[in-house]
Amino acid sequence: MTHAQNAAPKAPIKPKELTIHGDTRVDNYYYLNERENQEVISYLKAENAYLDGVLAPVKDLRGKLFEEMKGRIKQQDQSVPYKEGAYYYQTNFVQGGEYPIYVRKKGSLTAPEEVMFDCNQLAKGHNYYNLGGYEVSDNDELAIFCEDTVSRRLYTLKVKNLKTGEIYPEAIPNVEAGGFAWAADNKTLFYVKKDVKTLLGYQVYRHVLGTNAKADVLVYEEKDNQFYMGLYRMKSKKYVAIVSDHNGITTEYRLLDASKPTGDFAVFYPRERGHEYDLQHYQDKFYVRTNFKAQNYRLMEVTENLTPSPSPSKGRGVQMTDRASWKEVIPHRADVFLQNLDVFADHLVLGERKEGLAKIRVINQKSKADHYLEFGEPAYVAGISYNPEFGTHVLRYSYASLTTPGSTFDYNMDTKEKTLLKQQEVLGGFDKSNYVSERVYATVRDGVKVPISIVYRKGTKKDGSAPLLQYAYGSYGSNTEPGFSSTRLSLLDRGFIYAIAHIRGGQEMGRHWYEDGKMLKKKNTFNDFVDCSKFLIQQKYTSPDKLFALGGSAGGLLMGAIVNQAPELYRGVVAAVPFVDVVTTMLDETIPLTTGEWEEWGNPKNKPYYDYMKSYSPYDNVTKQAYPNLLVTTGLHDSQVQYWEPAKWVAKLRTMKTDNNQLLLHTNMEAGHGGASGRFEALKEIALEYAFMLNLLGVQK
């Protein structure tokens, strides 16, 4: 059935007036937020059927792409083992297995393998499965773990005896993934409970094995619903930490001596608006990465066990340190962003970022001599891996580039000897020398230079004839790294150029890059992307009839904004789980995550933010004009961007757009924000996106 023959579904119009600040918006599709309404479900299914009809000519291609991408993955595979305590830990994959198997070996790598969690077995009977992390007790006998079988990010916490294989009766629902920690007594654990409506973690409970979870003790409750909450055991194992984070604005740590589980959590340093910090504990001191008088952060240290003093924040227990006692270790630098750090007995390792690229810096704690690791490619990603032990001279780190598969290295911080432990094996004859990467800069409309990382197959012409897929995210200070993707090869080998635009709203160029792409400066994000597109066209990497754009979640908002602003630049756009109904969502505090997002987008209950938000919100700015071909994807159980945002957007576009281009909506009826679970099922969604683009270019095989 052709696009012309296949009649597009039309959602009924049911106007609803939404009024605030004396301004009334009419939402014709507000009712689509009724997840249990059979009319809504029928509409979503009709859209899925319509998509299948329009893309019928590339049904075989979708299958071929899936098999092609799956064929590059080494199915029988395992991670590089790491040592923690008495055990070596590793993740295995088996032939045909969708999910990981977590194993360990005691004492040496030649010891018998103990299976801790076989997620292929745990997933049986579920359409979706995700093991949201685990933590082993100090005596190595027990493990906390949590599971989500719906994709709503509401996990159930369980405890397994690793010696007997028994899973204990405790099954505590609605917890945060990874938001748990053992105390040092091997029987007490702490966990973060989530609000089932807003999906915000807001309470920390203490649970003792063998007791009724209903009797668990509430040890902390976050009263401010703009804060996200985390919980973990620090690397030194001495402290359990509760972290309250106000989305890029404010941080507050609470610490408890893990050997005293019934004690009170103490505030390390109380929350102050605009002050963010994080901690590393080692021996008798804390390292504090802080943005106090340091936009790009600096590193301080403070001696442990200072006399606690009453917290200036009423009801917050004791304050462990006074900022006047902090001593500077690494000063602020205007051109270097201090991203993270790790601490070893004799070394400090800093993750830094300069000119948009990650750097790893090693400092000898005794001599203070320092050096940077060398990587030698124009665009890459490198990061400090998991290093659970202090008493080692060996740093484990990860590395990849647009042409180099993901690699794990051990690095001797004294001798500077580098050992490649594992590189992602790409099956099917992959040869990195067949591909070329570049790093270029586009000067955008306000004079700022925006980096673009580019990769293509050697021999691809740069005369405007090549199709190009431009990707970006540009929100929350999240960096879009120029890493490797084996799935991307299916485009590169068909003549595509792939470009990552490192637009403002991320943090690639330092903290100011983020600050200049949020709140009342959010439009810089959209303008940067459009101007990067124009640059790529001007430089003959592609042309408007061959240029495609891709973004997901907040990057889907980006896609919605650019097709309103400059639809003529793009042949096709893929908006994955797009956040497009910005005003309505940010006004509704009952929707998951809304309140925590006000410091990213602004609170539209304040008129200046309402007016600004309304001026770019994709749903509110759909107009009678021609739009590019559009593929929009969502998941019925999405916890981050509710399915009705993309559904409403597509319904409105159908009535407003003046073109005959494709407008397709795909709803995964069994998944959420991250799409399908399993390492192969997820490839089907990528195959759909690629087939959509290739079909527009007349490639159907």
468 burial type by CB count under 10 A (0-12 exposed, 13-18 middle, 19+ buried):
buried
- 25: exposed, middle or buried (C-beta count within 10 Å: 0-12, 13-18, 19+)? middle
**Cα–Cα distance list, 334 to 135, 297, 298, 512 (Å):** 38, 9, 10, 10
Q: Which of 423, 536, 545, 400 is nearest to 472 (CA)?
A: 536
- Measured between alpha carbons, how far is 315 from 337 in angstroms, rounded to an integer? 35
Using an 8 Å Cβ cutoff, are 661 and 627 in contact?
Answer: yes
> Kindly report the CA angle at 434 between 431 and 435, in degrees rounded to 5?
110
Residue 420 burial (10 A CB sphere; 0-12, 13-18, 19+): exposed
pLDDT of residue 312: 45
CATH of domain 334-425: 2.40.128.660
460-478 pLDDT tens trace:
999 999 999 999 999 999 9
pLDDT tens sequence across 236-248: 999 999 999 987 7
- Supply 562's token pair: 């650019």
Active site residues: 553, 638, 673
313-344 tens-digit pLDDT: 444 446 788 899 999 999 999 999 999 999 99
| Alpha-carbon span 176 to 156, nearest angstrom | 9
- In sign, the C-alpha dihedral spanning 679, 680, 682, 683 is positive
Cα–Cα distance measured from residue 77 to residue 84, given in angstroms and rounded to the nearest whole number: 21
Contact 512/413 with Cβ under 8 angstroms?
A: no
pLDDT of residue 428: 93
The fourth-level CATH superfamily of domain 433-662 is Alpha/Beta hydrolase fold, catalytic domain (3.40.50.1820)
The ranges assigned to domains in the chain are: 334-425, 433-662
Longest dimension (CA), the chain: 77
Residues with Cβ within 8 Å of 77's Cβ and at least 6 positions away in sequence, in order, are: 92, 93, 425
Count CB neighbours of 284 within 10 A.
Answer: 8
Which residues, at least 6 apart from 189, have a Cβ–Cβ distance to it below 8 Å? 144, 159, 180, 181, 182, 183, 206, 207, 209
- Can you give the pTM of this predicted structure? 0.87
Cα four-point dihedral sign 683, 684, 688, 694: positive
- What is the per-residue pLDDT for 311? 47
Q: Are 154 and 198 in contact (CB under 8 A)?
A: no
Per DSSP bridges, beta strands 449-457 and 468-471 are: unpaired
| Spans of the chain below 50 pLDDT | 1-4, 307, 311-317
Q: Compute the distance between CA of residue 438 and CA of residue 440 in angstroms, rounded to an integer.
A: 6
